[in-house]
A and B are shown apart, each in its own frame.
Chain A
Amino acid sequence: MEIIQSGLKTSEELSVMMGMANIGFTETQAALTGPNQQTPSSGSVASISGMLHYRFKTEEKKAWFGQFTFPLMGGEGTYLAAGGGMEYYFGNAPARIVLKDNTTSFTLSPVTRYFLMGGLNIAYISYLTETAKKNDTLLELEAGGGMSRRFSKWTLRLQGGLARGVGVATTTMGMKAMIGGIFFLD
C-alpha cells in the first residue's frame, strides 16, 4: 500500500489470468554445433498459459508491476517468463483508493481503465527441432496494453503484448493475450 495523501492509500493488485502465449523462435547460426545440426531451425511454441500479475506501486498514472507467465497445458514446448515493468493508465482513476479510519471507510474504485505497459523478462523456452529437443534462456523485452473493467462483484483484466527475446541460441518473437480477474489487496 502506498500513501499518496494523508490517510489515503492506493490498493495493490494481484491479477490471476490465463490465456495464450505463442512464441516464435529462430536459432542463431553461431550457436549451432555438431554434425547433425548445421541449419538453424525455426518454429513456434504455443501454449495455454497462466499469468500472475502483481501491481505494487502507483505513482500518479504510472504503476510498477511484476509478473510471472507459466504453462497451464503441456504442448510440444514450454515457455516460462518472469519479469517486471511499468504500466501507464489513461483517465483520471488509475487505481483503487481507500481511506479507512475511526469514522470513515471511503473507497473509490475505477470502473474502466485502459493502460499501456512495458517490461523486461527473463524467459525460458524449450522447443523441438527436427532432430532434438532444445532449450534456451532469454532476455525479453515486452510491450503491450489492456484494460480492466469493474463489475458488481469482481473486476476483469485483459492484457496483450508482444515480446522480443534474445537468448544464447535463439531469438524469439512472442505474442501473449491474457484474461482474468483482479484481487485488490486492501
Chain B
Amino acid sequence: MNRFLLLITLLSFIPSTWGSKLVIKSQPEGAEIFISTNGKPIRLGMTPYEANLTEVMKTYVKASSFLLEIKKPGHNTYRVLVAKTDDVDLELTANLELDKAISNLKEHDLLMNQLFDVQKLVRGRNFRDALIKLDDLEKKHPLLSIIPEMKATAYYMNKEVESALSYYRRAFALNPDNHDAYRMKLYLEKKMGIDSEVQ
C-alpha cells in the first residue's frame, strides 16, 4: 500500500501541463484560427493546429471564457465559446460549411449536370429513366419550371400528349416567363381542341 501511495505521489508531481493539449482541426484544412476574450481576435495559427493549452490560456485568455473562431475564404466562419479550463486536453474538429452563395452555385451546377444527363436520355429515347430522374429532381426542386417542362418534352416525344400538356401547364404555372412552355401549351391545346381560357 505504501508503494501504491508513493506511485500516486510521484505521478502527481508530473507537471500538469505535460499532457494538456489544444488540438484544432478543420475540414477543409488551412483555415485561420482566432482567439478572443474581451477584445480583438488574435490569430493563433492555421489548422491543423496543436499547442499547449495551458500556455494558450495564460497568454490570451484573461476572462472566464474565450471564443475560438475558424475562418476560411468561401466558408462560413465557425465560432465556439469555451469556458476557461485547465488540466484538460481540448480537441476540436470543425467541418466548415460552404458560404451560402458558393453552396448555391454548387447546387445549381449539380442540377444543370443532372438536367444534361436527362437530356441525353431523352435524346436516346430512354424516356422511362429520364422521367425517373426528373421525378427525383422535382422532389428536390419543386419550384423550378424547367423540370416539369423537360418532363413534358419527354412525354411529348413519347407521344403521350395529354401528360405532356399537363406538365407544360405546370411549368407555365410555376414560371409565367417560361415562353417555351407557354408556346408548347398553346400548341398542344390547339392540337387537342381545348380552349386554353377554360383550362
Chain B, range 55-85, C-beta contacts under 8 Å to A:
78, 80, 85
* Distance (whole angstroms) from the CB of A120 to the closest CB of chain B: 22
CB-nearest residue of chain A relative to B87?
A111
Q: Known pairs A92-B86, A103-B94, A111-B87. 9 more at Cβ < 8 A?
A: A104-B92, A105-B91, A107-B92, A112-B12, A112-B87, A149-B11, A158-B7, A158-B11, A177-B4
List of 8 A-B pairs having minimum Cβ-Cβ separation, nearest first: A105-B93, A177-B4, A109-B89, A107-B91, A111-B19, A111-B87, A93-B88, A160-B4
Contact A103 B97 (CB under 8 A): yes
Bound Cα distance from A152 to B20, whole angstroms? 9
Interface centre among A91, A104, A111, A150 (most CB of B within 10 A): A111
Residues of B within 8 A of A158 (CB): 4, 7-8, 11
Residues of A within 8 A of B90 (CB): 106-108
* Distance (whole angstroms) from the CB of A14 to the closest CB of chain B: 19
Interface of chain B, helix or strand or loop or mixed?
A: mixed
Bound Cα distance from A156 to B88, whole angstroms? 15
Bound Cα distance from A34 to B147, whole angstroms? 96
| B interface residues, tally (CB under 8 Å) | 27
Bound Cα distance from A151 to B96, whole angstroms? 30
Check A175 for interface membership: any CB of B closer than 8 A. Answer: yes
Residues of A within 8 A of B78 (CB): 103-104
Check B16 for interface membership: any CB of A closer than 8 A. Answer: yes
| A interface residues, tally (CB under 8 Å) | 26
Contact A104 B93 (CB under 8 A): yes
Bound Cα distance from A108 to B87, whole angstroms? 10
Q: How many A-B residue pairs have CB under 8 A?
A: 75
* Distance (whole angstroms) from the CB of A112 to the closest CB of chain B: 6
Residues of B within 8 A of A110 (CB): 87-88
Interface of chain A, helix or strand or loop or mixed?
A: strand
Check B1 for interface membership: any CB of A closer than 8 A. Answer: yes
CB-nearest residue of chain A relative to B53?
A111
Contact A92 B7 (CB under 8 A): no
Check B95 for interface membership: any CB of A closer than 8 A. Answer: yes
Given A109-B88, A151-B19: A104 in contact with B94 (beta carbons within 8 A): yes
Q: List 19 A-B contacts (CB under 8 A).
A: A92-B85, A92-B86, A92-B87, A103-B97, A104-B93, A106-B91, A111-B16, A111-B20, A111-B87, A112-B87, A147-B8, A149-B14, A149-B19, A150-B89, A152-B19, A156-B11, A158-B8, A158-B11, A160-B1
CB-nearest residue of chain B relative to A152?
B19
CB-nearest residue of chain A relative to B11?
A149
CB-nearest residue of chain B relative to A145?
B8
